[in-house]
Amino acid sequence: MPIAAQSLRLGPWREGVNYSLPAEDIGPSGLYDMANCTVGLAGEVSKRKGYAKYNSSAMNSGATVTGLGQVTLQGTEKTFAFCGDKFFDVTGGTATDRTGSTTITAGNDYTWQWVLAGDTLVAVNGQDTDAIKWTGASSNAATLDDDSRFSKPKHVAFWENRLWVGNTNGTTDRVWRSDPGDIETWDALSFYSLGYEVTGLQPFQNTLAIHTEYGIHTLTATGNSTIPFQQQQRTQRGTVAGRTIVTIPGERQIFLREDGIYQWTGGPAVEKISFALDDRYWSNLNTARLKYAFALYYPAEEQIWFFLPYGTSQTTMNSVVIYSNRLNCWFGPYNNFTRNAAAIVDEIPHAGDFAGYVMKHETGDNDDGTAIQGFFETANIAPLGDSVQCRWLYNRTLFDNTGDFDLSITQKAASIVSNVETITMGNLGATLDVTFTLDTSVLQNDVSALTTDSDLFGYDPRTMLRFSNFNNDETFTIRRTNLQYRPIGLTRKRTTGIE
Amino acid sequence: MTNIEVLQIALRRVGLNTTSSTFKDGARDYLNMVGRDIQSREQWNWLFTSSTFTTVADTQTYSLASDVLTPLSFRNVTENHVIIIKSTQDIDAADPDASIDGDPRWVAINGIDTNGAVQVSLYPTPDSADTIGYRYYREIPDFTEAEDNNSLDPYYPLVIQPALIHGITSLYKQEKGDDQGAAIDRNEMERVISVASRQNAAIQGNRKYRMRRSDDQAAGQFSYSPTEGSLS
């Protein structure tokens, strides 16, 4: 006999997480809270992949990684890292000291920004007097000749066949340009003063975008040899963290400010795109340290990872929130690790830690041997409105056949005592024609998504679920869940909460 | 079953958390209410019991045991005779100033004492310490949280215990506004009580009762007299 009940479907969660709204005001395709989970293209939520050491031995006796990247030099793809007071060629996971005679000052905050200038890597950190350059192969890094025009530049870009540096020692509002085709020739008057401290440089469309906290300025080529570039202030808001400027396909420049993450599409205005991170997430960030935040663009997934300091006194970047360009939504954070620099290496996000290691992310189901603590919480929806009491019966969860793992499902509501149920996912039987043995094997189900039911309890107009798995080497992918309930009708509540 | 087992089965059927003290307290209240209801339905064999008290010289009134619901009979064990239940008016008529003492022959129900226990008066007022035995139908006291892990078996036989569960769920669903579910569970409760009632009626085994003849010199509410003759 069928169960006399109605069904509330939660998910797919294509709207991602929304920290700015209470759970009651989020829709069925939004999430109230999460950590260490990914929202996929179909709106499914998966436990994030883990990370593993890229270099098996710590660089520079376990010093902090302050810069990381991968470029093609002399036709060879090179992975490099700054670690403590040294510069390493870390291609393939083997670190080779290429510091040479350059001066590199160790310090967690002396992070490096770099650019591929033609066939030369140029990097600056705002602390050491000279920028350094590296041409790859077996050569060591060397000091960039800047004709003694400036020192300690903080930002660097390569555009219009010129090298550009910004925010130099004593002239923080200044942007210098090299001669065309010669990154080591700098004329005495080849600079622009903006009046505000330069916070970032990045080519954008047909301009060089120069960020200050108080606006984005652009340089546009004029074609005139006497006045080769026209300077123009385009917006009234720019980034506070140069390492967070990311330009993504569709020509959108995404960057961080103290109150959130913005995008600029080249017009006269910037637009805040991180409202969903306000309140319950953003208010917990240490805004004083946001200028040290950094970001990377993950092309394969069309994601931008922002590494942020979560905790009002948190100094290092311990929380990664992710913007999905495909879904135009946010998810994360990824946490339980700290990072100081990040880059795409071999098409996968890598990030440097504070112990001499570059960590390869999006790898495996553990964090270098430690369990990943992944969870997400759905919206708290009243299917028939706030006045109609419902008896919650059970929920049917649709999940991918990723492994024979347990998943905890916690039910919560104002009038319902929190309750945890466990479902076992997966169906790792034997595959026909591969490992299946008659009379001994269980035939594996070849359907990717499976379902199972778990109990719900209590009476309340609304309820929400939390899915979690904190076990090592275990993962999950939840596509949606259907909550079965029986409408009771209008009832008076005598007290607030459990009764 | 233990009390807590009954409570948790009921909570599970209602769809409430079985470990919440709030819900367990609510279910226990309903257990006590349903228990009172069932106890009052009929003269259950499992409520039938006996006790004694000892008289004190020159003391006319005595309190029975706290679980006495309906006294049935009294006897003077010491003096080896039955004590007849009379009304207080009979005792007042026989000894208006309660000055006569001796071996009590009559007992009357006085009401209840300040603790709620049934109180009786004896006539004549006892003049010595006699053991008075009495039989009665008891009431089951309200259960508290401290008794959650105790067995229900000394109070309710197995045949009636499911009715307690259905009764709790019926009342709880009614509280939650689920009148339909409450009605279904109430029907279940009544069905179980009906079965238990039949079992209660057969508790004396194959013993048969028949109406007594009017000429057998026995006192009774009913009597019949066979008449000779034919219906043809």
Q: Which residues contact A268 (CB under 8 A, 6 or more apart)?
A: A234, A235
Q: What residues in A contact B29, CB-CB < 8 Å?
A: none
Task: Pull the structure tokens for residue A188.
Answer: 């005495």
B177: nearest CB among A389, A417, A458: A389
Q: What is the mean pLDDT of residues A114-127?
A: 97
Q: Are strands A113-117 and B48-54 parallel, antiparallel or unpaired?
A: unpaired
Confidence (pLDDT) at A396: 96
Smallest CA-to-CA distance from A410 within A402, A418, A398 is with: A418
Rounded Cα–Cα distance for residues A218 and A238 (Å): 11
Q: Which residues of A touch B176 (CB under 8 A)?
A: 389, 391, 459, 488, 491
Indicate where chain A has its CATH 2.130.10.10 domain(s).
52-370
What 8-state DSSP symbol labels residue B113? -
B175-180: which pairs have CB atoms within 8 A and are 24 or more residues apart?
B175/B26, B176/A389, B176/A391, B176/A459, B176/A488, B176/A491, B176/B14, B177/A389, B177/A459, B177/A488, B177/A489, B177/A490, B177/A491, B178/A391, B178/A486, B178/A488
CB contact under 8 A, B177 and A458: no
pLDDT-based confidence at B60, cuts 50/70/90?
very high
pLDDT at A442 over 70: no
The answer to whether A338 touches A292, Cβ cutoff 8 Å, is: no
- A417: which chain B residues are within 8 Å (Cβ-Cβ)? 16-17, 19-20, 22-23
A19-69 residue pLDDT tens:
999 999 999 999 999 999 999 999 999 999 999 999 999 999 999 999 999
Closest CB to B15: pick one of A393, A489, A498.
Answer: A393
pLDDT 10s digits, A457-469: 999 999 999 999 9
Q: Where are the beta strands (DSSP E) in chain B?
A: 48-54, 61-63, 68-76, 81-85, 101-102, 106-112, 118-123, 125-126, 131-138
CB contact under 8 A, A459 and B17: no
In chain B, which residue's Cα lies nearest the Cα of A391?
A: B15
- Flag whether residue A393 sits within 8 Å of chain B, measured between CB atoms: yes
CATH code matching the domain that covers A52-370, chosen among 2.130.10.10, 1.10.1040.10, 2.40.50.60, 3.30.1950.10: 2.130.10.10
How many alpha carbons lie under 13 Å from residue B214 in its C-beta half-sphere?
6
CA angle A258, A262, A265 (to 5 degrees): 150
Residues of B in contact with A486 (CB under 8 A): 178
Facing residue for B15 by CB, picked from A391, A489, A490 = A391
User: At B211, is the pLDDT very low, low, confident or very high (cuts 50, 70, 90)?
Assistant: low
pLDDT tens digit sequence for B62-92: 999 999 999 999 999 999 999 999 999 999 9
Pick the residue from chain A with its C-alpha nearest to B178: A488
Q: What is the pLDDT of residues B84-118, one digit of tens each?
A: 999 999 999 999 998 999 999 999 999 999 999 99
Contact A459 B176 (CB under 8 A): yes
Number of cross-chain residue pairs from A and B with Cβ atoms under 8 Å apart: 38
Task: Check if the beta carbon of residue B164 is closer than 8 Å to that of residue B156.
Answer: yes
* Cα dihedral A33→A38→A40→A44 (10° resolution): -50
Residues of B with CB under 8 A from a CB of A: 15-17, 19-20, 22-23, 176-178
pLDDT at position B205: 78
Q: What is the dihedral of CA A270, A276, A278, A282, to 10 degrees?
A: -90
What is the crossing angle of helices B21-39 and B161-175, to 10°?
120
pLDDT band per the 50, 70, 90 thresholds, residue A499: confident
Tokens of B91: 């005792």
- The predicted model gives A223-234 an average pLDDT of 93
Residues of B in contact with A456 (CB under 8 A): 15
Q: Which residues from chain B sit within 8 angstroms of residue A498, using beta carbons?
A: 20, 22-23
Q: What is the pLDDT of residue A404?
A: 81
Among B19, B23, B29, B169, pick the best mutation site for testing chain A contact (most A Cβ within 10 A).
B23
> What is the pLDDT, as a whole number, of residue B112?
95
Quickly count: other Cβ atoms within 10 Å of residue A447's Cβ: 10
Do the chains contact at A417 and B22, CB–CB below 8 Å? yes
* Contact (CB<8Å) A392/B15: yes
Is the link from the previous residue into B154 a cis peptide, with omega within 30 of 0? no
Instruction: Look up residue A68 and give its amino acid.
Output: L
Pairing state between β B125-126 and B101-102: parallel
Q: Which residues pair with A187 in a beta bridge?
A: none
Q: How many CB atoms lie within 10 A of CB A166?
A: 32
DSSP A72-99: EETTEEEEEEEETTEEEE-GGG--EE--
Q: For residue A489, is pLDDT > 70?
A: yes
**pLDDT tens-digit readout, A378-416:** 999 999 999 999 999 999 999 998 888 999 999 999 988
Q: Is the pLDDT of residue A450 over 90?
A: no
Look at A458 and B16 and tell me if their CB atoms are within 8 Å.
yes
Q: Which residues of A touch B16 (CB under 8 A)?
A: 417, 457-459
What is the model's pLDDT at position A368?
A: 97
Average pLDDT value over all residues in chain B? 91
Structure confidence at residue B224 (pLDDT): 61
Query: Considering only CB atoms, which chain A residues are within 8 Å of B24?
Result: none
Q: What is the largest CA-CA distance in chain B?
A: 74
C-alpha to C-alpha distance for A434 and A152, rounded to whole angstroms = 62
User: How many CA atoms within 13 Å lie on the side-chain side of A76?
Assistant: 13
**Is B103 in contact with B76 (CB distance < 8 Å)?**
yes
User: pLDDT grade, residue A289 (50/70/90)?
Assistant: very high
Residue B198's pLDDT band (boundaries 50, 70, 90)? very high
Q: Convert the pLDDT of each residue in A9-22 to its tens digit.
A: 999 999 999 999 99
d(CA A4, CA A484): 9
Q: What values do phi and psi take at A477, rounded to 5?
A: -135, 115
Determine contact, residues B67/B89, Cβ cutoff 8 Å: no
Q: pLDDT band at A201, cuts 50/70/90? A: very high
The mean predicted confidence, pLDDT, of chain A is 94
Q: Determine whether the interchain pair B17/A419 forms a contact, defined as Cβ–Cβ distance below 8 Å.
A: yes
CATH 2.60.120.260, chain A: domain bounds: 6-47+375-490
Segment A332-355 shows an average pLDDT of 98
Rounded average pLDDT over A236-250: 96
β A207-212/A198-204 pair status: antiparallel
Which of B25, B175, B178, B179 to probe the A interface (max A CBs under 10 A)? B178
Mention every residue, 6+ apart, whose C-beta is less than 8 A from residue A484: A3, A5, A6, A7, A8, A392, A393, A394, A395, A396, A456
Question: Could you tell me which of B157, B104, B150, B153 has the C-alpha nearest to residue B131?
Answer: B104
What are the tokens at B198?
């039949």
B128 pLDDT higher than 60: yes
* Beta-carbon separation of B15 and A458 below 8 A: yes
CATH number of this structure's domain A6-47+375-490, picked from the four choices 2.60.260.40, 2.60.120.260, 1.20.950.20, 3.50.50.60: 2.60.120.260
Closest Cβ opposite residue B22 in set A486, A489, A498: A498
